[in-house]
Amino acid sequence: MLNNLENDSIFTPEQVLENRGRVAIFIDGSNLFYAALQLGIEIDYTKLLCRLTGGSRLLRSFFYTGVDRTNEKQQGFLLWMRRNGYRVIAKDLVQLPDGSKKANLDVEIAVDMMALVDSYDTAVLVSGDGDLAYAVNSVSYRGVRVEVVSLRSMTSDSLINVSDRYIDLEAIKEDIQKTPRQSYPYRPLSGIGFLEDPRTSDGHLEIQE
Protein backbone atom coordinates (compact mmCIF):
# COMPACT_ATOMS: atom_id res chain seq x y z
CA MET A 1 0.00 0.00 0.00
CA LEU A 2 1.28 3.49 -0.82
CA ASN A 3 0.53 4.86 2.64
CA ASN A 4 2.90 2.26 4.11
CA LEU A 5 5.54 3.05 1.48
CA GLU A 6 5.37 6.72 2.38
CA ASN A 7 5.94 5.91 6.03
CA ASP A 8 9.03 3.89 5.05
CA SER A 9 10.34 6.90 3.08
CA ILE A 10 10.75 4.87 -0.13
CA PHE A 11 8.94 7.65 -2.01
CA THR A 12 8.90 11.34 -1.25
CA PRO A 13 5.44 12.98 -1.01
CA GLU A 14 6.13 14.71 -4.33
CA GLN A 15 6.86 11.39 -6.06
CA VAL A 16 3.71 9.86 -4.63
CA LEU A 17 1.51 12.70 -5.91
CA GLU A 18 3.07 13.33 -9.31
CA ASN A 19 1.03 10.68 -11.15
CA ARG A 20 -2.43 11.49 -9.80
CA GLY A 21 -3.82 12.21 -13.28
CA ARG A 22 -7.46 13.30 -13.35
CA VAL A 23 -8.86 13.75 -9.84
CA ALA A 24 -12.45 13.26 -8.68
CA ILE A 25 -13.37 14.37 -5.15
CA PHE A 26 -16.18 12.82 -3.11
CA ILE A 27 -17.01 14.61 0.16
CA ASP A 28 -19.31 13.19 2.84
CA GLY A 29 -20.61 16.50 4.19
CA SER A 30 -21.89 15.13 7.48
CA ASN A 31 -18.68 13.23 8.22
CA LEU A 32 -16.59 16.32 7.44
CA PHE A 33 -18.79 18.53 9.59
CA TYR A 34 -18.39 16.33 12.67
CA ALA A 35 -14.66 15.99 12.04
CA ALA A 36 -14.38 19.79 11.96
CA LEU A 37 -16.26 19.96 15.27
CA GLN A 38 -13.78 17.52 16.79
CA LEU A 39 -10.88 19.63 15.52
CA GLY A 40 -12.48 22.86 16.70
CA ILE A 41 -12.22 24.51 13.29
CA GLU A 42 -14.55 25.86 10.59
CA ILE A 43 -13.86 24.60 7.10
CA ASP A 44 -12.95 27.03 4.33
CA TYR A 45 -14.35 25.22 1.30
CA THR A 46 -12.29 27.19 -1.19
CA LYS A 47 -9.09 26.20 0.61
CA LEU A 48 -10.35 22.63 0.93
CA LEU A 49 -10.94 22.30 -2.79
CA CYS A 50 -7.50 23.67 -3.59
CA ARG A 51 -5.81 21.43 -1.02
CA LEU A 52 -7.55 18.25 -2.19
CA THR A 53 -6.95 18.99 -5.87
CA GLY A 54 -3.29 19.73 -5.17
CA GLY A 55 -2.55 21.18 -8.59
CA SER A 56 -3.85 18.12 -10.43
CA ARG A 57 -6.54 18.20 -13.11
CA LEU A 58 -9.92 18.22 -11.35
CA LEU A 59 -12.68 16.27 -13.05
CA ARG A 60 -15.38 17.14 -10.53
CA SER A 61 -15.85 17.71 -6.82
CA PHE A 62 -18.99 16.22 -5.26
CA PHE A 63 -20.42 17.36 -1.93
CA TYR A 64 -23.05 15.07 -0.38
CA THR A 65 -25.31 16.41 2.34
CA GLY A 66 -28.67 16.08 4.01
CA VAL A 67 -30.85 19.16 3.69
CA ASP A 68 -33.71 20.93 5.37
CA ARG A 69 -35.55 22.69 2.53
CA THR A 70 -36.96 25.27 4.95
CA ASN A 71 -33.54 26.36 6.21
CA GLU A 72 -32.69 29.49 4.21
CA LYS A 73 -29.17 29.76 5.60
CA GLN A 74 -28.34 26.25 4.50
CA GLN A 75 -29.84 26.84 1.08
CA GLY A 76 -27.67 29.95 0.73
CA PHE A 77 -24.60 27.95 1.72
CA LEU A 78 -25.35 25.20 -0.80
CA LEU A 79 -25.92 27.77 -3.55
CA TRP A 80 -22.51 29.24 -2.77
CA MET A 81 -20.99 25.75 -2.97
CA ARG A 82 -22.58 25.12 -6.38
CA ARG A 83 -21.19 28.40 -7.70
CA ASN A 84 -17.70 27.79 -6.35
CA GLY A 85 -16.57 24.48 -7.74
CA TYR A 86 -18.78 21.88 -6.07
CA ARG A 87 -21.47 19.60 -7.46
CA VAL A 88 -23.93 19.35 -4.55
CA ILE A 89 -25.89 16.13 -4.09
CA ALA A 90 -28.62 16.83 -1.55
CA LYS A 91 -31.03 14.46 0.16
CA ASP A 92 -33.93 15.42 2.41
CA LEU A 93 -33.42 14.71 6.08
CA VAL A 94 -35.60 12.01 7.60
CA GLN A 95 -36.78 12.33 11.18
CA LEU A 96 -35.97 9.28 13.27
CA PRO A 97 -38.08 7.90 16.18
CA ASP A 98 -35.74 9.53 18.72
CA GLY A 99 -36.46 12.95 17.20
CA SER A 100 -33.11 13.35 15.46
CA LYS A 101 -32.80 13.94 11.71
CA LYS A 102 -30.54 12.01 9.38
CA ALA A 103 -29.82 11.48 5.70
CA ASN A 104 -27.52 8.63 4.68
CA LEU A 105 -25.77 9.26 1.36
CA ASP A 106 -23.39 6.27 1.30
CA VAL A 107 -25.24 4.73 -1.62
CA GLU A 108 -25.06 7.94 -3.66
CA ILE A 109 -21.32 8.25 -3.02
CA ALA A 110 -20.67 4.61 -3.96
CA VAL A 111 -22.79 4.81 -7.12
CA ASP A 112 -21.08 8.00 -8.34
CA MET A 113 -17.61 6.57 -7.66
CA MET A 114 -18.45 3.51 -9.76
CA ALA A 115 -20.36 5.35 -12.51
CA LEU A 116 -17.44 7.70 -13.22
CA VAL A 117 -14.64 5.18 -12.70
CA ASP A 118 -13.48 5.39 -16.34
CA SER A 119 -13.31 9.19 -16.23
CA TYR A 120 -10.80 9.73 -13.42
CA ASP A 121 -7.45 8.34 -12.28
CA THR A 122 -7.49 9.32 -8.61
CA ALA A 123 -10.44 9.41 -6.24
CA VAL A 124 -10.22 11.57 -3.14
CA LEU A 125 -12.78 10.36 -0.61
CA VAL A 126 -13.42 12.68 2.34
CA SER A 127 -15.08 10.29 4.76
CA GLY A 128 -14.18 7.81 7.46
CA ASP A 129 -17.24 5.61 6.95
CA GLY A 130 -16.32 1.94 6.75
CA ASP A 131 -19.47 1.25 4.73
CA LEU A 132 -17.66 2.80 1.76
CA ALA A 133 -14.74 0.34 1.93
CA TYR A 134 -16.34 -2.05 -0.58
CA ALA A 135 -16.83 0.73 -3.13
CA VAL A 136 -13.25 1.92 -2.62
CA ASN A 137 -11.94 -1.60 -3.10
CA SER A 138 -14.03 -2.01 -6.25
CA VAL A 139 -12.75 1.14 -7.96
CA SER A 140 -9.20 0.22 -6.94
CA TYR A 141 -9.53 -3.02 -8.90
CA ARG A 142 -10.50 -0.89 -11.89
CA GLY A 143 -7.11 0.80 -11.74
CA VAL A 144 -8.08 3.90 -9.78
CA ARG A 145 -5.85 5.28 -7.03
CA VAL A 146 -7.86 6.14 -3.89
CA GLU A 147 -6.89 8.71 -1.29
CA VAL A 148 -8.94 8.78 1.92
CA VAL A 149 -9.06 12.03 3.89
CA SER A 150 -10.66 12.04 7.34
CA LEU A 151 -10.09 12.40 11.06
CA ARG A 152 -8.29 9.32 12.34
CA SER A 153 -10.49 8.91 15.42
CA MET A 154 -13.56 8.82 13.15
CA THR A 155 -12.11 6.57 10.45
CA SER A 156 -12.72 2.85 9.99
CA ASP A 157 -9.58 0.72 9.71
CA SER A 158 -11.27 -1.20 6.88
CA LEU A 159 -11.43 2.00 4.82
CA ILE A 160 -7.78 2.86 5.45
CA ASN A 161 -6.71 -0.68 4.58
CA VAL A 162 -8.21 -0.53 1.07
CA SER A 163 -6.97 2.99 0.29
CA ASP A 164 -3.71 3.83 -1.48
CA ARG A 165 -3.07 6.83 0.71
CA TYR A 166 -4.57 8.05 3.97
CA ILE A 167 -4.44 11.69 5.10
CA ASP A 168 -5.48 12.66 8.62
CA LEU A 169 -7.46 15.92 8.70
CA GLU A 170 -5.52 16.82 11.83
CA ALA A 171 -2.37 17.05 9.69
CA ILE A 172 -3.87 19.49 7.18
CA LYS A 173 -6.25 21.49 9.35
CA GLU A 174 -4.09 24.63 9.09
CA ASP A 175 -4.46 24.46 5.29
CA ILE A 176 -8.25 24.16 5.23
CA GLN A 177 -9.59 26.21 8.11
CA LYS A 178 -11.09 29.67 7.94
CA THR A 179 -9.14 32.59 9.30
CA PRO A 180 -10.57 35.80 10.81
CA ARG A 181 -11.58 38.50 8.33
CA GLN A 182 -10.72 36.20 5.47
CA SER A 183 -11.79 37.02 1.93
CA TYR A 184 -12.28 34.45 -0.79
CA PRO A 185 -9.85 34.64 -3.74
CA TYR A 186 -12.53 34.53 -6.42
CA ARG A 187 -16.19 35.34 -6.91
CA PRO A 188 -19.08 32.97 -7.62
CA LEU A 189 -18.97 31.62 -11.15
CA SER A 190 -22.35 33.15 -11.97
CA GLY A 191 -21.07 36.66 -11.32
CA ILE A 192 -24.32 37.47 -9.51
CA GLY A 193 -22.72 37.57 -6.07
CA PHE A 194 -23.32 35.78 -2.80
CA LEU A 195 -26.87 35.33 -1.63
CA GLU A 196 -25.35 34.88 1.78
CA ASP A 197 -21.74 34.69 2.87
CA PRO A 198 -21.17 31.18 4.22
CA ARG A 199 -18.73 32.57 6.76
CA THR A 200 -21.66 34.13 8.61
CA SER A 201 -24.12 31.29 7.98
CA ASP A 202 -24.11 28.89 10.90
CA GLY A 203 -27.60 27.55 10.32
CA HIS A 204 -26.48 24.89 7.85
CA LEU A 205 -24.09 23.39 10.37
CA GLU A 206 -26.90 22.15 12.54
CA ILE A 207 -28.47 19.85 9.99
CA GLN A 208 -25.65 18.54 7.79
CA GLU A 209 -26.44 14.91 8.58
Ordered DSSP codes for 10-64? SS-HHHHHTT--EEEEEEEHHHHHHHHHHHT--B-HHHHHHHHHTTSEEEEEEEE
Is the predicted pLDDT of residue 8 greater than 60, yes or no?
A: no
Q: What is the mean pLDDT of residues 190-197?
A: 36
Domains observed in the chain: 23-173 (3.40.50.1010)
Q: In angstroms, rounded to a whole number, what is the distance separating the alpha carbons of residues 62 and 110?
A: 12
Quick count: other Cβ atoms within 10 Å of Cβ 114? Answer: 13
What pLDDT score was predicted for residue 70?
Answer: 80
Mean pLDDT, residues 106-129: 95
pLDDT at 85 over 70: yes
φ, ψ of residue 96 in degrees (nearest 5): -90, 165
pLDDT at 26 over 90: yes
pTM of the model: 0.78
pLDDT level of residue 181 (50, 70, 90 thresholds): low
First to last CA, the chain: 32
